[in-house]
Structure 1
Amino acid sequence: MHQLTYGDIKAAGDRIAGRVRPVAVAPLDVAGGEVWAALELLQHTGSFKARGAQNFVRAHREAGTLPDAGVTIASGGNAGLACAWAAQEQGVRATVFLPANAPAVKVARLRGYGAEVRLAGREYAEALAACEEFAASSGALASHAYDHPLVAAGAGTLLDEIRRQLPSLDTVVVSVGGGGLFAGVATAAREHGVRTVAVEPEGSQALHAAVAAGRPVDVPVDSVAADALGARRASAAALWAARQDGVRTALVADSEIVRARRLLWEGHRLAVEHAASTALAALTGGAYRPAEGERVCVVLCGANTDPGTLA
């Protein structure tokens, strides 16, 4: 396994500069400390995944390793959107595998980016198996929703952008599914002495299980945020990052995730998906309590949701 380094993240930042939207930060009115939001929900394709996808596709373009068959990925939705967008920019085909229960809004947007969409199984793991079989038979380049160093490095570019606006940042809070965002952000945060808090739903805790077992293991998935945080197994890179100094983990109930999402809508008119409000739920629900004067930034990682569910 390639061990993710800060050098990988710096290289990714150079590679995707000008091709992703720099993250905006804004204060949040929540109890405890000085809390800011990183508005990555405003990113291309509606989530942070655009960073990793752009880094992955451009790195292969630079290396001359983008095949005629294009790229393929299995995704709960957001990584597929990002891969399709990045592939379209480079003029290559994208074939995206999703679980059959993926939100209709994500399926429609994928097709809008020109991707071929294939539905397989009920969970991400089943879509991944179908994707791997397709890659082997077609010659398409297989990307990954989270478990790839180029994808995690692209996600990690977010931390340096946050620090440019909040240079005295103490803590960054991120939600965790398979751990690509967490691994990248934690790697960059460690370089700067910033604490990382990794937040998972109680019903989808692949990282917690990996830490307890000492290795990535399969877990059951049952959470309101499972469409984006539904990985059955955390990446080895995420487990490695979780074991480093300056990293905290937290679990939050679905009820807290739903409440935090509604707070963002009612208090700030931010329509986020449940995966994004999972990070905030650690603060609003008390799973992570900032110290007095602690400067905290919560990553609001995506907005691919049905706004009608906020009415």
Structure 2
Amino acid sequence: MVRRTARWAGWAVAYVLGLVALAAAGAWVWWQPAPTAAGTATNALWARHQWVGETHTGAEYRAFGDLLERGRITDVYFHAGPVEADGTVPAAKYRNARALIAAMRRYAPGVRAHAYLGQIRVAGGAGVIQLDDPAVRARVVRTAGTFLDLGFDGIHYDFEPIYPDDTAFLALLDGTRSLTKARGRLLSVALEQPTLADGLQPLYKALLPRGGRFEYPPRPTDAFLRSVAARVDQVAIMTYDVSLPTRSLAGLHYARHTAHVLRLIGDQVTVFMGVPTYRTSMAWAEDLDGALRGVRRGADALERPPARPWGVGIYADWTTDPQEWARYRSTWLPSEIARING
């Protein structure tokens, strides 16, 4: 009996490994053709907190403005938080904000500067901010107004985790959207990559309750992503850190999400697909070059371009070295690709 059980277990393991090998081989074959879609000239960058929290020289601002221009960066999410549990941000944390905005107007005219606000969301377990409290949400909106008063072109929210039944988060977007729209500014949000199959959410919820050691992933369903898109001007998908073992599988991940998100909301809002320049958990399989190639392969799969502008969001300015900036320009920007290809 024990020997038979061991034999069946061995066959089961071999079967699973065979399926994995087939999937990896299929992804490798799919990965080989070079993408034909060019990148775009509408792109975003997440920027470090020091820009709003510390003083900088004119030369530093000028160099940053030149970097943004050469990279065709249209939107910069300057980290201005984190938001405190009560929904506020102490003024000492953004003491350089006015100087930053003045420098952006001088050295990077036309580039939109967003105040990037976020925090760990209380959602069935540990966390910092309780967005279910209407008073907390109201203070977050007032905090957003403070940054608009300083001259920021928009508000960028990154509260995590956000689950697809988070009505409090949608209420926060409603309140903030009223503010930004009245002032002629923008509202953007960073979200996790969408689910692979919406139908699995009830199963995840039943087997992996929130607040436990093994929570189910906070992935937006199609319906939730549409609900968010109806309330904002831009959606940045945190596509990075995929934890897949091969470059082709990671590239397939980027391509699949790019095509899916652009089909779903690309006609409603500006979409930025997040790409990494930091060392990911599986850096041999996922890097900036592979992510950009995957995004372009995803664009290849579209039946038509989205109605709204779209591009990539680089995470982040503090992890991108000069060589990566050069590779980004040569493999993503349409003018650079055309120049290289003659």
TM-score of the aligned structures, taking structure 1 as reference length? 0.32
Radius of gyration: which is bigger?
2
